Amino acid sequence: MTSAAERAVLEEEFKWLLQEEVHAVLKQLQDILKEASHRFALPASGSGGAVKQENFVLSTLGTDQVKGVLTLQGDALCQADVNLKMPRNNQLLHFAFREDKQWKLQQIQDARNHVNQAIYLLMNRDVNYQFKTGSEVLKLMDAVMLQLSRARNRLTTPATLTLPEIASSGLTKMFTPALPPDVLVNFYINLNKLCLTVYQLHVLQPSTTKNFRPSGGSILHNPGAMFEFGNQRYEVSHVHKVECVVPWLNDALVFFTVSLQLCQQLKDKISVFSSYWNYRPY
């Protein structure tokens, strides 16, 4: 039990926390998340708000089967120039995006949308808003943390796709010259990296003695994976994965982590007071 004097002191401290410190933390969170949001659409200098184009060289240690340069503009791949060395005959294939095509990276788009939703939640509680109870703060922090966790997860967890889904995606129609029928490609974000996976296929003849087992969804399919598409059965013969680091994605992930920590620290402070008196902030 706490004495009346102790309780009065604690109530004053809690009132100060609700009226002053909470708003200071909310302002800090807004500043960090606005900076994170800006990372997703870096403006080009002197372009009147246009998003800057950035070129990235694809590479992987120990292989030169696939080389390329990607041009990223915000959440869109506006150019991809790829060279593929075919293992069977060392034939060199070159393909690039058609000039009228861009490929939207849904992961980046979704992550930015979640960040902006978190900012919206914070701005709805401006400095003039008076928090009456700790539960209000906890609910707000939970809502903000949910958006930030979703933003982070979109960058750290690429979508699992089946091979028929990759084969039927609009990405296959982006290139000139057109991709050969025995090549599939997929772009995705993994943490702070932009990744390209190239699958080389061979047709499974009706006379094959192999037991056909269609593969399920996966981020990265392995050689030997089988699928059916367009009344034809295929098997993956070779898989090539190349990647490039996108520095501003790393910045965004750091901002997400720092913001989540700030939210949790504020929740912990609110919860500490709940252990001292009967009306708990839950």
Q: What is the block-wise mean pLDDT of the chain (282 residues), using blocks of 10 residues?
A: 66 75 92 91 57 85 81 90 81 87 91 95 87 88 97 94 93 88 93 93 84 90 93 92 93 96 92 62 42
Asked if the structure places residue 12 within a domain, the reply is: yes
pTM, to two decimals: 0.86
How high is the pLDDT of residue 269?
A: 87
Please give the residue range of the domain that contains residue 127.
4-42+52-278
- What helix, strand, coil percent values describe the chain, rounded to 5? 40, 25, 30
Asked if the structure places residue 79 within a domain, the reply is: yes
How high is the pLDDT of residue 275?
A: 64
Asked if the structure places residue 172 within a domain, the reply is: yes
Cβ contacts of 151 within 8 Å, gap of 6 or more:
110, 111, 112, 114, 115, 118, 256
Asked if the structure places residue 47 within a domain, the reply is: no
Confirm if 134 and 63 have CB atoms less than 8 A apart.
no
Asked if the structure places residue 25 within a domain, the reply is: yes
How high is the pLDDT of residue 205?
A: 87
Q: For the chain, first and last CA: distance in Å?
A: 20
How high is the pLDDT of residue 281?
A: 44
User: Could you write out the DSSP letters of every residue in 83-103?
Assistant: EEE-TTT-PEEEEEE-TT--E
Helix (H) or strand (E) holding 156: helix 134-156
How high is the pLDDT of residue 198?
A: 92
Asked if the structure places residue 96 within a domain, the reply is: yes
Round to whole Å and give the CA distance between 31 and 37. Answer: 10
Burial class (CB in 10 A: 0-12, 13-18, 19+), 95: buried
User: What total of structural domains would you count in the chain?
Assistant: 1
Cβ contacts of 270 within 8 Å, gap of 6 or more:
17, 134, 137, 138, 281
How high is the pLDDT of residue 2?
A: 54
Round to whole Å and give the CA distance between 45 and 184. Answer: 36
